[in-house]
Amino acid sequence: IADIKGGPQGGLERVGEYMLVRGWVRTCRSQKTFAFIEVNDGSAVSNLQAVVNTNVEGYNEVEAGRVTTGASVSIEGVLVESQGSKQKVELQASKLLLIGGSDAATFPVQKKRLSREYLRSIAHLRPRTNTFGAVARVRNALAFATHQFFKEKGFVWVASPIITASDCEGAGEQFCVTTLIPNSHEDPSTPLSKIPSTKDGLLDWSQDFFGRPAFLTVSGQLNAEIYATALCDVYTFGPTFRAENSNTSRHLAEFWMIEPELAFADLRDDMACATAYLQYVIKYILENCKEDMEFFDQWIEKGIITRLTNVVEKEFMHITYTSAVALLQKAKKTFEFPVEWGCDLQSEHERYLTEEAFSGNPVIVTDYPKEIKAFYMRENADGKTVAAMDLLVPRVGELIGGSQREERLDVLERRIEELGLNKESYWWYLDLRRYGSVPHAGFGLGFERLVQFATGIENIRDVIPFPRTPGSADF
Ligand code: 4AD
Ligand code: MG
């Protein structure tokens, strides 16, 4: 359907072609001598309307009331110019085949507008709605554009592990990997899928990964650093996990992260890479997902196309953390959390900076106090701040977090000791500073936050097919 209706004349150039369309019925309206069936195949927001005359093979299914919303059909016919005003072309059916019926009385995705909360409870059917179809396609386009951007720049994609013993961020927000052993009173050959996964009774839980502690990764950064100090410019793109019990519209327990790591690079190079990346992928969807973006502009966030066009065309603002704090303190606005030098910026501060102080443009905040940032960030000459950067965008707040890494062995060792981290477990990370150390920098971009930013969808649970948040892991 996207192929037909996305043509330069909305399909008119293909009039006269005989074609087959397969998809799901959105609506079926029958008149005296014919029926209109609106079909959607997931390739576009647009439906294709088929006109099925009473003498067409398969019309009896319409008569019997079996061609209902949600049913799957295959329709053959000739594409003709439409007499209606809503579409340029329609299919003059010559054959209708009902593939899978759909009980109209119980099908949960009816034509009326459904709340996002309700749709989350039917995650197996929500991709059949216009909104979730469009989000899935734009998410896919952003992923494709990501790989294309890095390929054009000569980066190598590196697969970072999901199971790891190290805690990159040192924030203790890791999920533990455990080995499940059926209890002695259970037949040990019973497959785990047949044993109720309750903690008591049926299973013994040993808190380890074959005898050693292991966790789900919070970030692939340290692994990316290994490859950057051998292949120069690399990136990871995969799922990461955070065991933070936060119920907000921008946190997930499982989210995808894109983490470039650049060798022979400093914070300025890192910021330039983040800016070029963001502008590239946004431009890509504006050019390649026109119908979906117009749908978001009309139904989800008015003016989103203009907002994103500005992102592509305008320069991003830069401000140091110290100046940002001064600006927030002068703001004519009362924040829930007052700001003082040394505190971590909250979402309300981040949003004020990008939405109000810098009128809706992305802002990069640099040089944060070392106390509120991770151990690996490079210490600045002032001894108080580190070469860190956060890229903030309207609505979402922090989209990117990055830094220049500490490449000096002695400084890094001192920092690890100061923070009371276990130095032995970082032996391989320190080796990178012992053998051919180079200045290097990188960042992490939360892919779901990017999809939120690019579609205007408010809640992060609605931009990932199967959201994992405290208490939700069905589907
Ligand atoms: O700022 P963070 O914690 O940085 C790191 O993990 C670095 N190791 C990245 C690097 O330098 N390679 O996370 C990076 C980004 C955030 O800016 C945010 O967009 C996203 O990951 N993020 C989350 N997205 C969804 N749900 C969560 N719980 C997230 N936590 C972080
Ligand atoms: Mg961060």
pLDDT in tens, 4-31: 999 999 999 999 999 999 999 999 999 9
What is the CB neighbour count within 10 angstroms for residue 426?
Answer: 18
449 alpha carbon – ligand 2 mean position (Å): 12
pLDDT of residue 279: 98
369 token code pair = 């106090």
pLDDT of residue 245: 83
| CATH T-level fold of 2-100 | OB fold (Dihydrolipoamide Acetyltransferase, E2P) (2.40.50)
What is the rounded distance in angstroms from the CA atom of residue 423 to the CA atom of residue 425?
5
Mean pLDDT of 128-147: 98
Mean pLDDT of 395-417: 97
Residues lining ligand 1, Cβ inside 6 A: 168-169, 219, 221, 242, 244, 251-252, 255, 257, 259, 398-402, 442-446, 448-449
177 alpha carbon – ligand 1 mean position (Å): 21
Residue ranges per structural domain of the chain: 2-100, 132-162+220-462
Pocket test for ligand 1, best of 250, 257, 368, 372 (most atoms within 8 A of CB): 257
What percent of the chain has a predicted confidence (pLDDT) above 70? 94
Query: What does the pLDDT look like over 169-189, one tens digit per residue?
Result: 887 789 998 876 655 555 666
Pocket test for ligand 1, best of 164, 244, 449 (most atoms within 8 A of CB): 449
- Please state, rounded to an integer, the average pLDDT across all residues of the chain: 93
Indicate the range of 163-167, 309-313, 318-322, 470-474 predicted with least confidence.
Answer: 470-474
- The backbone torsions φ and ψ at residue 117, rounded to the nearest 5 degrees and listed phi first, read -60, -45
What is the CB neighbour count within 10 angstroms for residue 187?
Answer: 8
pLDDT of residue 101: 97
pLDDT of 204 strictly over 60: no
pLDDT of residue 201: 46
163 alpha carbon – ligand 1 mean position (Å): 17
Pocket test for ligand 1, best of 158, 246, 255 (most atoms within 8 A of CB): 255
pLDDT of residue 194: 67
Mean pLDDT of 190-214: 63
- The backbone torsions φ and ψ at residue 74, rounded to the nearest 5 degrees and listed phi first, read -130, 130
218 alpha carbon – ligand 2 mean position (Å): 12
pTM for the model stands at 0.95
pLDDT of residue 77: 98
Classify 132-162+220-462 by CATH class: alpha beta
pLDDT of residue 203: 53
pLDDT of residue 140: 98
The residues, ordered by sequence, that sit 6+ positions from 69 with a Cβ below 8 Å of its Cβ are: 25, 26, 27, 28, 102, 104, 107, 109, 110, 111
What is the rounded distance in angstroms from the CA atom of residue 158 to the CA atom of residue 162?
13
Residue owning tokens 């939405």: 355
Query: What does the pLDDT look like over 88-110, one tens digit per residue?
Result: 999 999 999 999 999 999 999 98
444 alpha carbon – ligand 1 mean position (Å): 6
